[in-house]
Homo-oligomer: A and B are copies of this chain.
Amino acid sequence: MARIALDAMGGDFAPTAPVGGALLALAELGPEHRIQLIGREAEIEAAIDAALNGEHAALASHRGRLDIVDAPDVIGMADKPTAVMRRPSSSMAIGLRRHAEGLADAFLSAGNTGAQMAASVQLLGLHAGLKRPAIGTIFPTALQTVVVLDSGANVDCSPEELVHFARLGLVYAEDIMGRTNPAIGLLSIGEEPEKGNAVVKAAHQLLAQSSLHFLGNVEGRDVAAGRCDRGPFDVVICDGFTGNVILKFYEGLAPILITMIAKSMGADPKEMMQGLAHLDYSNYGGAPLLGVKGVSIIAHGSSSPRAIKNAVNVAVRAAESGMSEHIGRRLAVAASAA
C-alpha cells in the first residue's frame, strides 16, 4: 500500500497533466494505492471533472482513490530554491510535510526542481554522510536502461561525492530497476584509470579500492550502448554538470534524429516517434532525489499525463521497496568500513 502525495500545481500543464496522470496511474496500480492531489482545491476539482467528462471518462471508477488536499499557494518556476520554506501553504511545502509526517509515503512534483530539492532536504533530511542529494535519471540504451547520476543537483563534485553517487545508484538499480549486483561505470574520456579530469581520476582510485562492483571508466559511446568492453553496466557516475549536459543533449537529439530520419524517408515523424516509445523520455518520467530520508520524485516540467503516471509508478516502487532505508543502511555500512 502506498499513498502518493502528488503536486497538482507543478509543471507546464498543471493541474490537467497531474490529474490525468493520477487517474492513469490508479487504473494500473492495485486498489490499495491512493493518490493525494495537493493544490488549489477548486482548480483540482474542475480538472478532475474535465478529465472524467473528457478523455479519461473510462477511468471514473478510480475517482474514489483520489484525495484532494487544499494548498492555496503555488511555487512558480522562477521562484528561488528557498521559496518553499518561506511559503508553508504552497503545494510543495504541504505535500512534502505530509510525507515527512507520515501522512503520505512519497512526494512527486513536476514543478520547480531547485525548490523541490531544497525543500526535500529541509523537510525530509539527508542520510548521514551526504552534503546534497543526487538526481538519478534513466537513460534508454541499445542494451537496457541505465541510471545516470548525478544529472543536475551537484555541479561541482569531490571524488568522495562521486563514490556516494555510486552507492545511491546501486540501491536505485536494485530497488527500482530490479537489477542484481549492479555494475557501476565512471563516466570519463578513456577507459584507462589515468584518463579523465582531476576529480574523476581520484574517484576512480576510490571506487577501485571499494567493495562496489566497479567496471572502471566508461566513455560517452558506452553510455549510448549500455556496455563497455568489460561488459554491460547499470549505473553511470558523473558530476551533475556533465550528467545534466548529456541528459539534455539526449533529450534534444533523439527527437531531432527521428525527425530527420522520418523526413529523409518521407514518413510522418509523429508516427515514427510513437513506434519508438522505448526511446521516449516520458516512458521514464520520474527521477528520484537520491539521498533524502524519504521519497521525493522529480518529474520533467513538460510532463504529459503518461509521464506523470510513470513517475507515480517510480514513487510507488521507491516507497514499497524501502529504497531510502536501503540507502541509509548502505551509507552507514560504507562509513563504518572506512
Chain A interface residues toward B at CB < 8 A = 141-142, 152, 155-156, 187-189, 196-198, 200, 219-225, 238-242, 244-254, 256-261, 264-265, 267, 272, 275-276, 278-279
| Copies of this chain in the oligomer | 2
Which of chain B's residues have a CB closer than 8 A to the CB of A250?
220, 249, 253
- Select A241's contact among B197, B248, B267, beta carbons within 8 Å: B197
- Select A261's contact among B245, B253, B258, beta carbons within 8 Å: B258
User: What are 18 A-B interface contacts by the 8 Å CB criterion?
Assistant: A155-B189, A155-B198, A156-B197, A189-B241, A189-B248, A196-B241, A197-B239, A197-B241, A220-B245, A220-B246, A220-B249, A221-B248, A221-B252, A224-B249, A224-B252, A246-B249, A258-B261, A265-B272
Which of chain B's residues have a CB closer than 8 A to the CB of A278?
260
Known contacts A220-B245, A258-B257, A261-B258, A152 near B189 by CB under 8 Å: yes
The 3 closest A-B pairs by CB, nearest first: A221-B252, A220-B248, A220-B249
A-side interface mostly: helix
Q: Tell me if B249 and A249 are in contact (CB < 8 A).
A: yes
Residue in chain B with minimal CB distance to A140:
B260
- Select A252's contact among B196, B225, B254, beta carbons within 8 Å: B225
